[in-house]
Every structure is written in structure tokens, then in C-alpha cells.
Amino acid sequence: METLFEHTLQRQAAEQAKRDAEQIKKIEALEGKIDELTALMKSNALSSNTTNNSNNKTMNINNNNTTTINITPWGRSFYIPASMLEAVFAESETLQRYCHIGDKARTDPEEAMPYVQEALMDVIRRLHQDPQERNVYLNPKRSDQVLVYDETAWELRPLMEATRSLLDRAARGITTLVNKEWQKLSPAVAESAPWLPIMYDERREEHIVRARPSMAAHLENIAPGRALPAPAARPADQLRGPKKEEKPPAAEEQKKAGPAPFTLYDAAALLRAAGLKAGEGWADSAKRLQAGSKGQEAGRIMSKLWEAMEEGLLSEAERMTVRELVTEYDAATMKRK
């Protein structure tokens, strides 16, 4: 019996030693990844030095001039001013529709989903216009990883975890603003904005999964050495719709400017806004889709609708509609050739 007991102890000790060795390897591998990613960031013209203030990180971005930036530590609450939220609504046709779709649709988690996605992602993009808020970067070698500045050092985190944190804080920021400064908001925004964080909480995990591609693209855009273009300012009274005397830009100017950005989320929202159903004719469907797509080509609309379907953004009925649309579009394209 004593021999068996000693043998058991020896085997347990050996297994523990093996687990310890594996854990050490994992730690060393993680440290190696952090060093590698930090080196990549430095090679992209970004170098960092720790200041005496433990709550900040000083980063020197070397172009022609040296600029010192105090990076906000990861996880801090977002401050969203009323002017920013007004601009988010004023500069988005999608959110302008949200102001006028009625309480029933506005408070339906499925119906509200594309509007909530649009608002939260736009808030995050605007917050990252400030270089001090750029405390998260996409790993250039791993699209499922990010590097965040966590109080005293840069650390690797999963992209999904970073997406969850950013969306959560954007939603909380809107709630804080509405609770404290609602009187600074225009009537349309004051009526619609409070529902955004509520609808986000209703389908939180689904929002996080759906936002992953957009978040990855956004974080790639704010990589060191890249500068985000400031959003064009538009008057808040556009929330009430264009004035009758306003005329659209000349065709030449629109052609010169090119079509507006168009994502799979835009495509899903467009499909719902157009109210397309399976069995409709291609010609009529194409006209209605292009009319609301800000000048996108039919091929790009079809491509983004297909991506939205593959990403699980559409209902079963909507997927059936998209399959028919893409099939008929391909057939029409082949005839022209």
C-alpha cells in the first residue's frame, strides 16, 4: 500500500511539473507576441515611453515633427457630449430614419438592430478621432487580436473582448448623456437616443458578434501612421429632413466625389428599408435598392447583401429574397455579356 501511495505521489508530482512547464511555455509565447507586436508598431513610426503619471502613456509619433500624446488607459468610461450625439444623428440617413419610424419599430430589438449598430460604431469612430483615445490597435498579423494600453503596459486581448468593451462603453456613454444632459439635445434626438442603449442590452451578444467585422476594419484604419478624416459637419436641422428649396448636388459633382462608403450593415438596412420580398421582379427591385443606396452600383449592392447573408445578419425570409436577387442579377449580367 505504501509503495502504491508513493507511486501515486510521484505520478502527481510529474504531472504537475509537466503542467508548470506548459504554462511557462504559454507565458513565454505570449511575451514573445507582445514584443513582436510592439516592434511592429514601432516600425510604423510609433514609439512609446512611460511617464511618471501611472494613469497615462506618452507616445511619440514621428513624422516631420514630434508630437507627445497622453494615451487614455483602456477601460475608462466614454464621455459623449451632446454635440457629438447630435452630429451622429444629423450625418446619418439611417439614424434620421430611426427618428421617424415610430415607437413600435424603434423599440423592437430586431427592427432596431441596424440603427443601434450604426449609432454605436459611429460614436466609437468619432471618439477615436482624438489620438489620446486610441488605446487599442489591431494586430497586423492576427485579425482576431488587438493590443490595448492597460494602465501601465500594452497587452494582447482577443478582438471580441475589445469589441464588447467598446460597444458597452459607447452604450453607457449615451445613457449617461441622456440622463444628465437631455435638455441639450434636439427633440428628435432626445426622443430616439434613449432607446439605443436599451435595444443594445436586449440583444447585446448578437450586437457584439455582428459588429466584429466593422470593428476590425475601424481598428485597422486607426493603425499607427494613419489619420482618420474628420466627419463633415452638417447642420442639426437636417434631422427634420431637407428643405423643399434644397437641390441635390449636380451629377458631375456626385460623379467626382464617388459613391459613399457602403458596408454589409448598410446593405441589410437598405434591404429592410426598401421592403423587398421574395418573388418580386428584378427590374423593380434593382430600382428601389439603388434609389436608397447613395449611388452604389448594383454589383456592389448584391455583393454586400450576400456578405450580410453569410454573416448571419438577415432573417430566413430576407436570405431567401437575397438569394433570388443575386441569382437574377447574375443571370441579367450574363445576358448583357
Between 208 and 5, where is the model more confident? 208
For residue 251, name the pLDDT band (cuts at 50, 70, 90): very low
For residue 154, name the pLDDT band (cuts at 50, 70, 90): confident
pLDDT score of 78 more than 70: yes
Q: Which residues contact 337 (CB under 8 A, 6 or more apart)?
A: none
Kindly state the percentage of the chain with pLDDT values over 70: 67
The domain locations on the chain are 2-43, 48-235, 261-336
Q: Which residues contact 279 (CB under 8 A, 6 or more apart)?
A: 324
pLDDT digits (tens, 9 = 90+) for 169-196: 999 999 999 888 888 999 999 999 999 9
pLDDT score of 295 more than 80: no
Between 160 and 5, where is the model more confident? 160
Which amino acid, residue 154? W
Q: What is the largest CA-CA distance in the chain?
A: 98
For residue 225, name the pLDDT band (cuts at 50, 70, 90): low
CA dist., res. 333 & res. 46, Å (int): 47
- Average pLDDT estimate for 5-27: 66
pLDDT at site 229: 42
pLDDT at site 26: 62
pLDDT at site 50: 36
Pairing of strands 46-49, 57-62: antiparallel
For residue 223, name the pLDDT band (cuts at 50, 70, 90): confident
- Average pLDDT estimate for 59-82: 72
Nearest Cα neighbor of 153 from 31, 27, 24, 23 is 31
At 301, list the grid cell: 449592392
At 283, list the grid cell: 427590374
Nearest Cα neighbor of 189 from 123, 320, 282, 98 is 98
CA dist., res. 208 & res. 166, Å (int): 10
Instruction: Tell me if 35 sits within 8 A of 41, measured CB to CB.
Output: no
Which amino acid, residue 331? A
For residue 164, name the pLDDT band (cuts at 50, 70, 90): very high
For residue 105, name the pLDDT band (cuts at 50, 70, 90): confident
H or E segment to which residue 328 belongs: helix 316-336
Write down the H helix ranges in 143-297.
159-181, 187-192, 195-202, 204-221, 251-257, 264-274, 282-291
pLDDT digits (tens, 9 = 90+) for 300-333: 788 788 877 877 777 878 888 888 887 887 777 7
Determine the distance from the C-alpha atom of residue 313 to the mean position of all C-alpha atoms in its chain, rounded to a whole number.
14
The values of phi and psi at residue 262, to 5°, are: -140, 115
